[in-house]
Amino acid sequence: MRVAYQGMPGAYSEAAVLQRWGSSAEPVPRPYLEDVFDAVEAGEAEAGLVPVENTIEGSITRTSDLLNERSLTVLGETVFRVVHCLIANPGVEPGDIKRVYSHPQALGQTRAYLAAHGYEPVNHFDTAGAVKMIRDEGLRDAAAVASRRAAEIYGLNVLAEGIETNRENYTRFLSVGRGAEQATGRDKTSLAFTVDHRPGTLIAALRALADRRLNLTKIESRPYPGRPWEYVFFIDFEGHRDDPVSVDALRELSAYAKSLKVLGSYPRA
C-alpha cells in the first residue's frame, strides 16, 4: 500500500506511516502538504498521512484548509510521540553551532532549548530535509532538529536528545483517501462549516451537538477566503456520521449553517 507523506525519508511523518501500517506500507515522500493530497487524488498513492495538530504548537492550519478545499476524506487518525534531537556533522561540537535548521513546527516545539543555547532558528521545509542539507553542504556552524532515525539515515551525529520543550509532545496525524469508513462504535467525526455573520448563529449551530450530548474533542476557526473577518469552523466530535443521534444533529446543524462539509468519520486513535 503506497502512503504519501510530507517530507523526506527520516521525517516524523514517515515514522508515523510505519507506526500505523508497518511493513504493509510503502512510504511515498512528497515535499509539501499539497503534494500529499495531489498524490492521492492522482492515484500515485492509495492514502496519505498528514499532521493536523501538536500538543505543544497546536494546529497545523494548512492541513485543515486542505481538508476543506480538496476532495479527499478522513479515514483514520494516528497519534505519534515526537522526540527531537539536535543533529550535526561529525566533529561539530555544541559550542560551534550558531544556526539550527528545521521545520517551523519542530523549531517551535524546541523553542526553549534553542533560546537557552543562543541558537538562531532557521525554517526549512522538513526536519529530515534539514539534516540532509547540512550534510550535503558540509556546514560546521549549523545543526538540525530532527529524529534520531534521520541522523542514522544521513550519517550525522546526535548531540542531544529529548530537546522538546515538554515531554508530552505528541502529533496527531489524519489518514486521507477515498471512500468512507464504517461505524465501529468508537468513532470520531470531523466537520467544516460556515454560518451567517449574525449574532447567535454559531451558538445555535453548536447547540445541535450539545443538546444531543455529542462530545466535542476539537473546535477552531480559520479565515473564510474572500470574506474578511468571517470564518470557517472546524469541529471534531465523538461519534460516527451514520449514528442516529449524529444524523439528527447534522440535520439540525445544516439548518443553521451556510455551508457544511463532513470531512470524515473514522475510528478514534
Catalytic annotation, residues: 171, 173
Residue 205 dihedral angles phi and psi, to the nearest 5°: -65, -45
Residue 10 grid coordinates: 527520516
Q: How far apart are CA 72 and CA 261, in angstroms?
A: 12
CA-based nearest residue to 66, from 172, 192, 205, 171: 192
Classify strands 170-177 and 47-54 as parallel, antiparallel or unpaired: antiparallel
Q: Is the dihedral of CA 42, 43, 47, 48 positive or negative?
A: negative
Stretch (H or E) spanning 46: none
